[in-house]
Amino acid sequence: MSRSLHHLHRPLGDTGLIVSPLGLGTVKLGRDQGVKYPSGFTIPDDDEAGRLIGLAHELGINLIDTAPAYGRSEERLGPLLRGRRQDWVIVSKSGEEFEAGRSSHDFSPAHTRRSVERSLKRLETDYIDLLLLHSDGDDLRILRDSGAYETLAELKREGKIRAFGLSGKTVEGGLLALERGDCAMVTYNLAEQGEKPVLDYAASHAKGILIKKGLASGHACLGAGVDPVKASFELIFGHPGVGSAIIGTINPLHLSHNVATAAEVLQGRP
């Protein structure tokens, strides 16, 4: 049995994107304030970050997730991915900003366009594979009233993004995001399965699903003798709607273990 994900890549709904079942989340490359992890961490330097990205690629990960709200993550990824753009499916976001230790939100059409143009520059690329609105929790208002989703549709027609969707917080938001767009990023883990209807809809309508907090932001705990990572991945990959789960580790051992466990779970499926 392989302990890598190279042969386990799969379609992300009908976006045309082919993704690894695990993606590398990069909040910890750019931000160490106001993040909900069980223990503190030090933002890795460029050498460490480069090695982590190299390891992810070796292990068969081709999906990398970033956002303007992740501090310096995007601007660091530009140089780190330089010359290897074709190896990666890049997910970024719009709507949430993080400056001077504080988050703020802006879903106006003008800000959405400015944010995407800035992400293109920071990431040193001509296109972003998937652009998600970074919800503040008021999913339906953002999708219906702000004009941001229509702006993302325009940017897709212009070729600046290949697919778009919502990183949301509600079932209603996730369903509307899929109805009118390509992908939803959904919380789904051993403790929180309230957004499962979004996964069900995606499975029956060939829409994309990315899972966030699949390991409950590092808090996954179960009874003695049960591997919480394996149990989490059995839940996640047991659902046919799931494209990929974003895992935000900066620990090479954790990354290797997560990949080996995901490979084991996926290869064990009929």
Q: Which residues are catalytic?
A: 70
Q: What angle do CA 145, 67, 156 make, to 5 degrees?
A: 55
Quote the CA–CA distance of 151 and 108 in Å, as a whole number: 9
Which of 232, 267, 266 is closest to 246 using CA atoms?
232
77: DSSP letter: H
Residues in CB range of 160: below 8 A, 6 or more apart:
116, 117, 120, 126, 127, 128
Quote the CA–CA distance of 57 and 7 in Å, as a whole number: 13
Quote the CA–CA distance of 18 and 24 in Å, as a whole number: 15
Quote the CA–CA distance of 63 and 148 in Å, as a whole number: 24
- Is 44 strand, coil or helix? coil
Q: Extract the tokens encoding 268.
A: 């064990």
Quote the CA–CA distance of 23 and 212 in Å, as a whole number: 10
